[in-house]
Amino acid sequence: MEEGVIKFRLQFSEAGPVDMEPLAELNRWRTVLWQQALIGQDPARYEGFGFGNVSQRTGADNAACGKRCFIISGTQTGHLSELDSNHYTLVKSYDAASNAVSAAGPIKPSSESLTHGMIYDLDDEIRIVLHVHSPDIWLAADRLDIPVTDSTVAYGTPQMATEVQRLFNETDVREHKIFSMGGHEDGVISFGTSAEEAGKILLRTLDASRKH
Ligand SMILES: [Zn+2]
């Protein structure tokens, strides 16, 4: 487990706080997920590293792949119950092939930024990506019929991009709007056109995962 370690080459420039107004709904949902311990930091989990991150696209739906700008929560912010304008940052471009991310903001971007970018590239309509850690959902993925990425592929790697693409090509992940990361313990991603849509999918699935 290497939760929290940035594996991509990061080109980062310091910039002021982000505008929270367009992020209000995302930030509210991020707090809900934190309250459910789907985002957090716990000395007993993942060697004490923070886990979970959220993002929202900012530009036009049809922007070029690799340049679909998005605002993402900063690296190692999992311990915070609420985030503010200093805890989000703008990812300007990303490239899985060269394993590179370019960002600007008050904090370095989440170590899972590349995966968020890959998902935005796969569907124009996706505006929100939520990455959480849920042992309940992760262990129940097969029973709940949730698509799962290959267990040999680690998070934050270029291979994960290929694997997510495979799910979009070969499974009904577009309808589910949620998948489990087989090679990333407890890792789950949901997405949608709004934070409410992606957030409700997570809560509904969490609920279902606890019913036997
Ligand atoms: Zn994770």
| Structure tokens, 35 | 């309250």
Residue 50 CA to ligand 1 centre (angstroms): 9
Q: Which two three-digit tokens encode residue 19?
A: 């505008």
**Residue 150: left (phi > 0), alpha (psi -120 to 50), or beta?**
beta
Q: Which residue from 68, 73, 91 is spatially nearest to 33, judged by alpha carbons?
A: 73
Q: CATH no. for residue 68? A: 3.40.225.10
Q: Rounded mean pLDDT of 154-158?
A: 79
- Per the prediction, the chain carries an average pLDDT of 94
Look at residue 91 and tell me if it is in a domain: yes
Cα(187) to centroid(ligand 1), Å: 5
| Host domain of residue 53 | 9-209
- The confidence score (pLDDT) of residue 159 equals 85
Q: Which helix (H) or strand (E) holds 211?
A: none
Establish if 28 belongs to a structural domain.
Answer: yes
Tens digits of residue pLDDT in 100-124: 999 999 999 998 899 999 999 999 9
CA distances from 74 to 54, 55, 104, 162, 164 (A): 9, 10, 11, 24, 22
> Does a structural domain hold residue 48?
yes
For residue 190, which phi and psi values (nearest 5 degrees)? -120, 160
Domain membership flag for residue 117: yes
The mean pLDDT value for 70-92 works out to 97
Split into its structural domains, the chain has a count of 1
Interval between CA 122 and ligand 1 midpoint (Å) = 20
- Whether residue 1 lies inside any domain: the answer is no
The answer to the question of residue 190 being in a domain is yes
**In the predicted model, is pLDDT for residue 4 greater than 80?**
no
Rounded to the nearest angstrom, the distance between the alpha carbon of 131 and the centre of ligand 1 is: 7
CB atoms closer than 10 angstroms to residue 177? 20
Please say whether the beta carbons of 180 and 13 come within 8 A.
no
**What is the whole-number distance in angstroms between the Cα of residue 180 and the centre of ligand 1?**
11
Residue 67 φ/ψ, nearest 5 degrees: -130, 25
CA of 175 to the centre of ligand 1 (A): 22
Q: Is the residue at 4 inside a domain?
A: no
Distance 20 CA to ligand 1 centre (A): 24
* Alpha carbon of 3 to ligand 1 centroid (Å): 6
What percentage of the chain reaches a pLDDT higher than 90? 85
Distance CA 144, CA 180 (A): 11
